[in-house]
Structure 1
Protein backbone atom coordinates (compact mmCIF):
# COMPACT_ATOMS: atom_id res chain seq x y z
CA UNK A 1 0.00 0.00 0.00
CA UNK A 2 1.20 3.57 -0.48
CA UNK A 3 2.74 4.18 2.91
CA UNK A 4 3.57 7.45 4.65
CA UNK A 5 0.70 9.89 4.75
CA UNK A 6 2.95 12.85 3.99
CA UNK A 7 4.05 11.25 0.73
CA UNK A 8 0.68 9.71 -0.16
CA UNK A 9 -0.51 12.22 -2.75
CA UNK A 10 2.73 12.55 -4.68
CA UNK A 11 3.70 8.88 -4.32
CA UNK A 12 0.30 7.65 -5.44
CA UNK A 13 0.11 10.22 -8.21
CA UNK A 14 3.49 9.02 -9.48
CA UNK A 15 2.31 5.41 -9.15
CA UNK A 16 -0.88 6.28 -11.05
CA UNK A 17 1.19 7.82 -13.86
CA UNK A 18 3.39 4.73 -13.91
CA UNK A 19 0.32 2.48 -14.03
CA UNK A 20 -1.19 4.54 -16.83
CA UNK A 21 1.98 4.13 -18.84
CA UNK A 22 2.19 0.41 -18.06
CA UNK A 23 -1.49 -0.20 -18.75
CA UNK A 24 -1.24 1.91 -21.88
CA UNK A 25 1.29 -0.50 -23.29
CA UNK A 26 -0.93 -3.40 -22.26
CA UNK A 27 -3.91 -1.80 -23.87
CA UNK A 28 -2.25 -1.08 -27.20
CA UNK A 29 -0.07 -4.16 -27.57
CA UNK A 30 -0.36 -7.81 -26.82
CA UNK A 31 1.94 -9.01 -24.08
CA UNK A 32 5.16 -10.61 -25.23
CA UNK A 33 5.85 -14.02 -23.73
CA UNK A 34 9.26 -15.25 -22.56
CA UNK A 35 9.76 -16.95 -25.93
CA UNK A 36 9.19 -13.68 -27.77
CA UNK A 37 5.86 -14.89 -29.14
CA UNK A 38 2.81 -12.72 -28.77
CA UNK A 39 0.46 -13.98 -26.09
CA UNK A 40 -2.86 -12.86 -24.72
CA UNK A 41 -3.36 -12.16 -21.02
CA UNK A 42 -4.60 -15.28 -19.27
CA UNK A 43 -8.08 -15.25 -17.80
CA UNK A 44 -6.56 -15.47 -14.30
CA UNK A 45 -4.49 -12.35 -14.95
CA UNK A 46 -7.57 -10.49 -16.12
CA UNK A 47 -9.60 -11.58 -13.08
CA UNK A 48 -6.79 -10.52 -10.74
CA UNK A 49 -6.46 -7.20 -12.56
CA UNK A 50 -10.17 -6.45 -12.24
CA UNK A 51 -10.78 -7.71 -8.69
CA UNK A 52 -10.96 -4.14 -7.41
CA UNK A 53 -14.19 -3.70 -9.38
CA UNK A 54 -15.94 -6.27 -7.16
CA UNK A 55 -16.12 -4.01 -4.11
CA UNK A 56 -14.75 -0.90 -2.53
CA UNK A 57 -13.09 -3.08 0.09
CA UNK A 58 -11.18 -4.94 -2.66
CA UNK A 59 -10.05 -1.61 -4.10
CA UNK A 60 -8.63 -0.58 -0.71
CA UNK A 61 -6.69 -3.86 -0.48
CA UNK A 62 -4.94 -3.49 -3.81
CA UNK A 63 -2.00 -1.08 -3.92
CA UNK A 64 -2.28 -0.27 -7.62
CA UNK A 65 -6.02 0.36 -7.63
CA UNK A 66 -5.75 2.35 -4.39
CA UNK A 67 -3.19 4.64 -6.01
CA UNK A 68 -5.37 5.00 -9.11
CA UNK A 69 -8.38 5.80 -6.90
CA UNK A 70 -6.32 8.37 -5.00
CA UNK A 71 -5.30 10.03 -8.29
CA UNK A 72 -8.96 10.06 -9.36
CA UNK A 73 -9.98 11.70 -6.07
CA UNK A 74 -7.21 14.25 -6.46
CA UNK A 75 -8.56 15.13 -9.91
CA UNK A 76 -11.95 15.76 -8.27
CA UNK A 77 -10.42 17.74 -5.39
CA UNK A 78 -11.70 15.25 -2.80
CA UNK A 79 -8.59 13.30 -1.84
CA UNK A 80 -8.97 14.35 1.81
CA UNK A 81 -11.51 11.56 2.37
CA UNK A 82 -9.08 8.82 1.42
CA UNK A 83 -6.21 10.51 3.27
CA UNK A 84 -8.37 10.70 6.41
CA UNK A 85 -9.44 7.07 6.09
CA UNK A 86 -5.82 5.91 5.67
CA UNK A 87 -4.68 8.09 8.59
CA UNK A 88 -7.37 6.46 10.76
CA UNK A 89 -6.28 2.99 9.62
CA UNK A 90 -2.70 3.83 10.56
CA UNK A 91 -3.90 5.22 13.89
CA UNK A 92 -5.93 2.09 14.65
CA UNK A 93 -2.87 -0.07 14.04
CA UNK A 94 -0.62 1.96 16.35
CA UNK A 95 0.87 -0.46 18.86
CA UNK A 96 2.28 2.07 21.31
CA UNK A 97 -0.42 3.73 23.40
CA UNK A 98 2.03 6.54 24.22
CA UNK A 99 1.95 7.60 20.54
CA UNK A 100 -1.85 7.77 20.34
CA UNK A 101 -2.37 11.29 21.79
CA UNK A 102 0.04 12.96 19.35
CA UNK A 103 -1.33 11.03 16.36
CA UNK A 104 -4.92 11.76 17.41
CA UNK A 105 -4.17 15.47 17.73
CA UNK A 106 -2.56 15.51 14.28
CA UNK A 107 -5.54 13.75 12.66
CA UNK A 108 -7.97 16.04 14.44
CA UNK A 109 -6.15 19.22 13.43
CA UNK A 110 -5.64 18.12 9.83
CA UNK A 111 -9.07 16.65 9.07
CA UNK A 112 -11.74 17.35 11.68
CA UNK A 113 -11.41 20.77 13.32
CA UNK A 114 -13.45 23.52 11.68
CA UNK A 115 -11.47 25.01 8.77
CA UNK A 116 -8.86 22.24 8.92
CA UNK A 117 -6.45 22.19 5.95
CA UNK A 118 -8.04 18.95 4.67
CA UNK A 119 -11.37 19.04 6.48
CA UNK A 120 -13.64 16.07 5.84
CA UNK A 121 -17.39 16.39 5.71
CA UNK A 122 -18.69 15.06 9.03
CA UNK A 123 -21.99 15.86 10.69
CA UNK A 124 -22.03 17.75 14.00
CA UNK A 125 -22.95 14.67 16.03
CA UNK A 126 -20.02 12.65 14.66
CA UNK A 127 -17.60 15.52 15.26
CA UNK A 128 -18.85 15.96 18.83
CA UNK A 129 -18.54 12.25 19.55
CA UNK A 130 -15.04 12.15 18.10
CA UNK A 131 -13.89 15.18 20.11
CA UNK A 132 -15.21 13.52 23.27
CA UNK A 133 -13.29 10.32 22.39
CA UNK A 134 -10.10 12.37 22.04
CA UNK A 135 -10.19 13.26 25.74
CA UNK A 136 -8.84 9.77 26.40
CA UNK A 137 -7.42 8.54 23.07
CA UNK A 138 -7.69 4.84 22.32
CA UNK A 139 -7.21 2.96 19.05
CA UNK A 140 -10.93 3.23 18.32
CA UNK A 141 -11.61 6.92 19.02
CA UNK A 142 -11.99 7.69 15.28
CA UNK A 143 -14.12 4.64 14.48
CA UNK A 144 -17.40 6.49 13.94
CA UNK A 145 -15.83 9.23 11.80
CA UNK A 146 -13.80 6.66 9.83
CA UNK A 147 -16.96 4.61 9.19
CA UNK A 148 -18.86 7.69 7.96
CA UNK A 149 -16.10 8.62 5.53
CA UNK A 150 -15.76 5.00 4.36
CA UNK A 151 -19.50 4.91 3.65
CA UNK A 152 -19.31 8.24 1.80
CA UNK A 153 -16.47 7.00 -0.42
CA UNK A 154 -18.12 3.61 -0.99
CA UNK A 155 -21.49 5.07 -1.98
CA UNK A 156 -20.36 8.23 -3.76
CA UNK A 157 -16.68 8.36 -4.84
CA UNK A 158 -16.19 4.68 -5.70
CA UNK A 159 -19.16 4.49 -8.12
CA UNK A 160 -17.96 7.70 -9.82
CA UNK A 161 -14.49 6.17 -10.08
CA UNK A 162 -15.94 3.03 -11.70
CA UNK A 163 -17.87 5.19 -14.19
CA UNK A 164 -14.87 7.35 -15.08
CA UNK A 165 -13.72 7.19 -18.68
CA UNK A 166 -10.20 6.03 -17.78
CA UNK A 167 -11.50 3.25 -15.54
CA UNK A 168 -14.03 2.04 -18.12
CA UNK A 169 -11.47 2.04 -20.91
CA UNK A 170 -8.92 0.17 -18.81
CA UNK A 171 -11.51 -2.43 -17.78
CA UNK A 172 -12.72 -2.88 -21.33
CA UNK A 173 -9.23 -3.34 -22.71
CA UNK A 174 -8.14 -5.74 -19.93
CA UNK A 175 -11.23 -7.88 -20.44
CA UNK A 176 -10.83 -7.99 -24.22
Structure 2
Protein backbone atom coordinates (compact mmCIF):
# COMPACT_ATOMS: atom_id res chain seq x y z
CA UNK A 1 0.00 0.00 0.00
CA UNK A 2 1.40 3.42 -0.96
CA UNK A 3 1.84 6.05 1.72
CA UNK A 4 -0.09 9.25 1.54
CA UNK A 5 2.50 11.99 0.84
CA UNK A 6 0.64 14.41 3.10
CA UNK A 7 0.71 12.07 6.08
CA UNK A 8 4.35 11.26 5.35
CA UNK A 9 5.16 14.95 5.54
CA UNK A 10 3.28 15.23 8.84
CA UNK A 11 5.20 12.25 10.20
CA UNK A 12 8.52 13.73 9.21
CA UNK A 13 7.86 16.88 11.25
CA UNK A 14 7.59 14.93 14.52
CA UNK A 15 11.26 15.16 15.43
CA UNK A 16 11.08 18.93 15.32
CA UNK A 17 8.37 18.76 17.98
CA UNK A 18 9.95 16.06 20.14
CA UNK A 19 13.68 16.76 20.15
CA UNK A 20 15.63 19.87 21.08
CA UNK A 21 17.38 22.14 18.61
CA UNK A 22 20.76 20.75 19.62
CA UNK A 23 19.58 17.18 19.05
CA UNK A 24 18.26 18.12 15.64
CA UNK A 25 21.40 19.90 14.46
CA UNK A 26 22.96 16.75 13.07
CA UNK A 27 19.63 15.42 11.83
CA UNK A 28 18.95 18.54 9.77
CA UNK A 29 22.48 18.62 8.35
CA UNK A 30 22.80 14.91 7.72
CA UNK A 31 19.49 13.96 6.13
CA UNK A 32 18.00 15.38 2.97
CA UNK A 33 15.13 12.89 2.70
CA UNK A 34 11.95 13.77 4.57
CA UNK A 35 10.43 10.37 5.26
CA UNK A 36 10.16 8.81 8.70
CA UNK A 37 12.00 5.64 7.75
CA UNK A 38 15.18 7.58 6.99
CA UNK A 39 14.78 9.63 10.16
CA UNK A 40 14.53 6.49 12.26
CA UNK A 41 17.47 4.88 10.49
CA UNK A 42 19.43 8.01 11.29
CA UNK A 43 18.63 7.59 14.97
CA UNK A 44 19.81 4.00 14.95
CA UNK A 45 22.82 3.90 12.66
CA UNK A 46 26.44 4.30 13.62
CA UNK A 47 28.34 6.85 11.57
CA UNK A 48 31.66 8.66 11.94
CA UNK A 49 30.86 12.13 10.59
CA UNK A 50 31.30 15.07 12.98
CA UNK A 51 27.62 16.02 12.88
CA UNK A 52 26.51 12.53 13.86
CA UNK A 53 29.16 12.32 16.57
CA UNK A 54 27.67 15.50 18.04
CA UNK A 55 24.35 13.66 18.40
CA UNK A 56 25.74 10.25 19.29
CA UNK A 57 28.63 11.17 21.62
CA UNK A 58 26.69 9.84 24.59
CA UNK A 59 26.11 6.20 23.61
CA UNK A 60 23.25 5.86 26.11
CA UNK A 61 21.13 8.08 23.85
CA UNK A 62 21.32 5.67 20.93
CA UNK A 63 18.58 3.04 21.21
CA UNK A 64 19.87 -0.52 21.35
CA UNK A 65 17.83 -3.62 20.52
CA UNK A 66 17.26 -4.01 24.27
CA UNK A 67 15.96 -0.41 24.53
CA UNK A 68 13.56 -0.91 21.64
CA UNK A 69 12.33 -4.21 23.13
CA UNK A 70 11.71 -2.49 26.47
CA UNK A 71 9.48 0.07 24.77
CA UNK A 72 6.99 -2.77 24.26
CA UNK A 73 6.83 -3.44 28.02
CA UNK A 74 4.97 -0.26 28.97
CA UNK A 75 4.09 3.22 27.80
CA UNK A 76 6.10 4.56 30.72
CA UNK A 77 9.28 2.86 29.46
CA UNK A 78 8.63 4.17 25.97
CA UNK A 79 8.13 7.79 27.10
CA UNK A 80 11.12 7.72 29.45
CA UNK A 81 13.48 7.04 26.51
CA UNK A 82 14.28 10.07 24.39
CA UNK A 83 14.12 8.30 21.03
CA UNK A 84 11.25 6.06 22.09
CA UNK A 85 9.22 9.17 22.74
CA UNK A 86 10.33 10.64 19.40
CA UNK A 87 9.26 7.50 17.53
CA UNK A 88 5.91 7.55 19.35
CA UNK A 89 5.47 11.20 18.31
CA UNK A 90 5.97 10.20 14.68
CA UNK A 91 3.37 7.48 15.04
CA UNK A 92 0.84 9.83 16.69
CA UNK A 93 1.39 12.36 13.91
CA UNK A 94 0.52 9.66 11.42
CA UNK A 95 -2.74 9.09 13.32
CA UNK A 96 -3.47 12.82 13.63
CA UNK A 97 -3.55 12.70 17.44
CA UNK A 98 -0.17 14.19 18.34
CA UNK A 99 -1.91 16.72 20.60
CA UNK A 100 -2.08 14.01 23.29
CA UNK A 101 1.69 13.52 23.60
CA UNK A 102 2.28 17.27 23.24
CA UNK A 103 -0.16 18.00 26.08
CA UNK A 104 1.35 15.26 28.26
CA UNK A 105 4.85 16.68 27.66
CA UNK A 106 3.68 20.24 28.41
CA UNK A 107 2.22 18.98 31.71
CA UNK A 108 5.49 17.24 32.59
CA UNK A 109 7.34 20.52 32.00
CA UNK A 110 4.70 22.47 33.95
CA UNK A 111 5.20 20.30 37.04
CA UNK A 112 8.90 21.22 37.18
CA UNK A 113 8.20 24.94 37.54
CA UNK A 114 8.61 26.55 40.95
CA UNK A 115 7.90 30.28 40.70
CA UNK A 116 4.29 31.45 40.83
CA UNK A 117 4.88 33.73 37.85
CA UNK A 118 6.16 30.86 35.70
CA UNK A 119 3.29 28.60 36.79
CA UNK A 120 0.69 31.24 35.90
CA UNK A 121 2.25 31.96 32.52
CA UNK A 122 2.65 28.29 31.55
CA UNK A 123 -0.83 27.40 32.87
CA UNK A 124 -2.41 30.01 30.63
CA UNK A 125 -0.30 28.87 27.70
CA UNK A 126 -1.39 25.22 28.15
CA UNK A 127 -5.01 26.30 28.52
CA UNK A 128 -4.91 28.37 25.32
CA UNK A 129 -3.19 25.65 23.31
CA UNK A 130 -4.91 22.48 24.55
CA UNK A 131 -7.90 23.05 26.86
CA UNK A 132 -10.17 25.87 25.77
CA UNK A 133 -12.95 25.24 23.30
CA UNK A 134 -11.63 25.44 19.72
CA UNK A 135 -8.01 25.47 20.96
CA UNK A 136 -5.50 24.79 18.14
CA UNK A 137 -4.56 21.41 19.69
CA UNK A 138 -7.69 20.78 21.74
CA UNK A 139 -7.62 17.53 23.68
CA UNK A 140 -10.67 15.43 24.48
CA UNK A 141 -11.68 16.14 28.11
CA UNK A 142 -14.93 15.80 30.01
CA UNK A 143 -16.68 18.94 31.25
CA UNK A 144 -15.79 18.36 34.93
CA UNK A 145 -12.03 18.06 34.27
CA UNK A 146 -12.03 21.01 31.88
CA UNK A 147 -13.99 23.16 34.34
CA UNK A 148 -11.62 22.31 37.22
CA UNK A 149 -8.71 23.54 35.11
CA UNK A 150 -10.51 26.79 34.27
CA UNK A 151 -11.16 27.37 38.01
CA UNK A 152 -7.50 26.72 38.87
CA UNK A 153 -6.15 29.27 36.38
CA UNK A 154 -6.62 32.09 38.94
CA UNK A 155 -4.18 30.40 41.33
CA UNK A 156 -2.43 27.58 39.42
CA UNK A 157 -0.46 24.93 41.29
CA UNK A 158 1.81 22.13 40.08
CA UNK A 159 -1.21 19.78 40.15
CA UNK A 160 -3.57 22.01 38.11
CA UNK A 161 -3.38 19.72 35.06
CA UNK A 162 -2.73 16.43 36.86
CA UNK A 163 -6.21 14.92 36.36
CA UNK A 164 -6.27 15.90 32.68
CA UNK A 165 -2.76 14.53 32.21
CA UNK A 166 -3.77 11.20 33.77
CA UNK A 167 -6.79 10.96 31.46
CA UNK A 168 -4.67 11.68 28.37
CA UNK A 169 -2.02 9.19 29.50
CA UNK A 170 -4.71 6.53 29.96
CA UNK A 171 -6.10 7.31 26.51
CA UNK A 172 -2.65 6.88 24.93
CA UNK A 173 -1.92 3.76 26.97
CA UNK A 174 -5.16 2.02 26.00
CA UNK A 175 -5.46 3.16 22.38
CA UNK A 176 -2.44 4.64 20.60
CA UNK A 177 0.29 2.71 22.44
CA UNK A 178 -0.95 -0.82 21.56
CA UNK A 179 -1.33 0.27 17.93
CA UNK A 180 2.22 1.68 17.97
CA UNK A 181 3.65 -1.61 19.30
CA UNK A 182 1.92 -3.52 16.49
CA UNK A 183 2.76 -0.98 13.80
CA UNK A 184 5.14 -1.32 10.86
CA UNK A 185 7.04 1.63 12.31
CA UNK A 186 7.86 -0.21 15.55
CA UNK A 187 8.75 -3.39 13.66
CA UNK A 188 11.21 -1.42 11.52
CA UNK A 189 12.75 0.05 14.66
CA UNK A 190 13.25 -3.45 16.09
CA UNK A 191 14.94 -4.66 12.91
CA UNK A 192 17.13 -1.56 12.59
CA UNK A 193 18.23 -1.69 16.25
CA UNK A 194 19.39 -5.29 15.87
CA UNK A 195 21.84 -4.18 13.18
CA UNK A 196 23.64 -1.62 15.34
CA UNK A 197 27.29 -2.52 15.73
CA UNK A 198 28.72 -2.49 19.24
The normalised TM-score by structure 1 is 0.76
Q: Secondary structure at the match of 1:98?
A: helix
Q: Is the 8 A contact 1:130 1:144 kept in 2?
A: no
Describe the shift of the 1:135–1:11 C-alpha distance in structure 2 as closer, same or farther (beyond 3 A): closer
- For 1:165, the equivalent position in structure 2 comes to 184
Equivalent pairs, count: 151
Residue 134 of structure 1 pairs with residue 153 of structure 2: yes
Q: CA RMSD in A?
A: 2.4
Q: Is the 8 A contact 1:50 1:171 kept in 2?
A: yes
Residue 18 of structure 1 pairs with residue 24 of structure 2: no
Q: Distance in 1 between matches of 2:100 and 2:119?
A: 21
Residue 106 of structure 1 pairs with residue 112 of structure 2: no
The normalised TM-score by structure 2 is 0.68
Q: Distance in 2 between matches of 1:122 and 1:142?
A: 11
Q: Which segments of 5 or more consecutive residues in structure 2 lack a partner in the other structure?
A: 1-12, 28-35, 47-63
Q: Is the 8 A contact 2:40 2:189 kept in 1?
A: no
- For 2:99, the equivalent position in structure 1 comes to 80
Q: Secondary structure at the match of 1:59?
A: helix
Q: Alpha-carbon deviation of 1:119? A: 0.3
Q: Alpha-carbon deviation of 1:95? A: 1.9
Q: Secondary structure at the match of 2:125?
A: helix
Q: Is the 8 A contact 2:120 2:156 kept in 1?
A: yes
Largest Rg, 1 or 2: 1
